[in-house]
């Protein structure tokens, strides 16, 4: 048992194989220090910060007080895993021991770690070779390989390796798709069909729920002051859906633009808090359904005439333009055709499938 252990990685994304290595190292050190570095080649489709990665590990290890999380702007520290393309040979990688020692020395000083700290590395790392170990300033301790988790492949294509991503990191690797449109355009039915198809989590329309929970089931009491709490409820619902994401896509029933459109329709003015929510809680993709389906009165809808439906649809488009959002339009009047078109969009833009 070592008094102090050190493990260094990119953890982008944090995956189950890395977590298993952390737990193995933690079983051999009284205190394990994990240092998170910035990834030199971040995935272009996901914006991940050092703070995001620190949060993942802090949450994953919240009940393991002997594990301490750190971040560093230092680059080229000796990683726990030697990341290389599986088509390349690790023996061809040049090992600069002097540079590694210099960087480790600075890190140890910054963390106030003793010289006897054990450096945990995967057993296939070039720095674990006996002739190299003798030159390092820290004792190297190896952890078992996790061959079913290829960190290089996972980092290159997180969507294809979704099941390998640690649950704490999945919120940052799921993309939100909002389904919007006027009343009786088939949004909610489409949301449930898409969620079932992809096995995805989803956030329901908060305006409709709010009418039921706070207004007694009728919009007759709806007023200007209600739009802010509706947006707050919706933001929390989206956050919860992403936090519990079960797929690389998370479906959202309506969006903040729709809430703003109803506010302008009913109150005759723009709500500044709702406008801030449109920009602050930006969704990744928006699918807009044309108002060309049959009108169905469910007791809570009031914009049923062709004139009212057309006006509301234009209002939505105007607000989207105001906030530089370009929705993907689906104008098929047939419900199944809409569903198929939505599937094609998600397959292409999130799963990277070619049409």
DSSP 48-100: --HHHHHHHHHHHTTT-TTEEEEEE---S---SS----TTS-GGGS---HHHH
Please check whether the domain covering 174-349 is classified as CATH 3.30.450.20. Answer: no
- Can you give the length of the chain in residues? 355
How far apart CA 219 and CA 211 sit, in angstroms, is 6
Where in the chain is CATH 3.40.50.300?
Answer: 174-349
Tens digits of residue pLDDT in 225-273: 999 999 999 999 999 999 999 999 999 999 999 999 999 999 999 999 9
pLDDT given for residue 86 in this prediction: 46
Give residue 304's pLDDT. Answer: 55
Q: State mean pLDDT over 162-186.
A: 93
For residue 76, the model assigns a pLDDT of: 79
Cα separation of 27 and 326, whole Å?
Answer: 51
For residue 84, pLDDT over 60 is answered with: no
pLDDT at residue 90, rounded to an integer: 45
Q: What architecture is domain 2-164?
A: 3-Layer(aba) Sandwich (3.40)
Structure token digits, residue 112: 């106030």
Whole-prediction pTM: 0.90
Cα atoms in the 13 Å half-sphere on the side-chain side of 139: 11
CB 70 within 8 A of CB 35: yes
For the chain, residues classed under CATH 3.40.50.620 are 2-164
Burial class (CB in 10 A: 0-12, 13-18, 19+), 98: exposed
Q: What is the mean pLDDT of residues 67-91?
A: 75
């Amino acid at each position: 048992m070592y008094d102090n252990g050190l493990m260094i990685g990119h953890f982008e994304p944090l995956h189950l194989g890395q977590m298993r290595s952390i737990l193995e190292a933690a079983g051999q050190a009284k205190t394990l220090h994990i240092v998170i570095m910035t990834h030199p080649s971040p995935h272009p489709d996901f914006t991940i910060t050092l703070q995001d990665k620190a949060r993942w590990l802090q949450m994953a290890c919240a009940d393991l007080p002997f594990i301490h999380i750190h971040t560093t702007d230092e680059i080229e520290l000796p990683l726990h895993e030697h990341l290389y393309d599986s088509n390349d040979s690790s023996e061809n990688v040049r090992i600069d021991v002097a540079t590694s020692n210099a960087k480790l020395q600075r890190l140890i000083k910054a963390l106030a770690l003793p010289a006897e700290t054990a450096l945990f590395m995967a057993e296939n790392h070039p720095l674990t070779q006996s002739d190299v170990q003798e030159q390092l300033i820290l004792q190297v301790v190896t952890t078992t390989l996790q061959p079913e988790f290829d960190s290089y492949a996972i980092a290159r294509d997180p969507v294809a390796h979704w099941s390998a991503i640690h649950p704490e990191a999945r919120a940052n690797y799921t993309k939100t798709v909002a389904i919007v449109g006027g009343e009786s355009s088939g949004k909610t039915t489409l949301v449930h069909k898409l969620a079932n198809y992809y096995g995805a989590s989803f956030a329901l329309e908060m305006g409709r729920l709010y009418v039921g929970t706070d207004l007694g089931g009728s919009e007759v009491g709806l007023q200007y002051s209600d739009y802010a709490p509706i947006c707050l409820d919706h933001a929390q619902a989206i956050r919860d859906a992403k936090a519990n994401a079960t797929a690389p896509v998370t479906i959202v029933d309506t969006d903040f633009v729709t809430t703003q459109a109803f506010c302008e329709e009913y109150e005759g003015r723009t709500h500044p808090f709702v406008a801030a929510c449109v920009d602050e809680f930006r969704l990744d993709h928006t699918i807009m359904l044309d108002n060309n389906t049959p009108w169905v009165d469910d007791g809570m809808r009031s914009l049923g005439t062709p004139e009212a439906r057309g006006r509301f649809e234009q209002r939505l488009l105007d607000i989207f333009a105001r906030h530089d959002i370009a929705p993907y339009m689906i104008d098929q009047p047939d419900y199944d055709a809409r569903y198929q078109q939505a599937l094609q969009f998600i397959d292409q833009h999130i799963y990277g499938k070619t049409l």
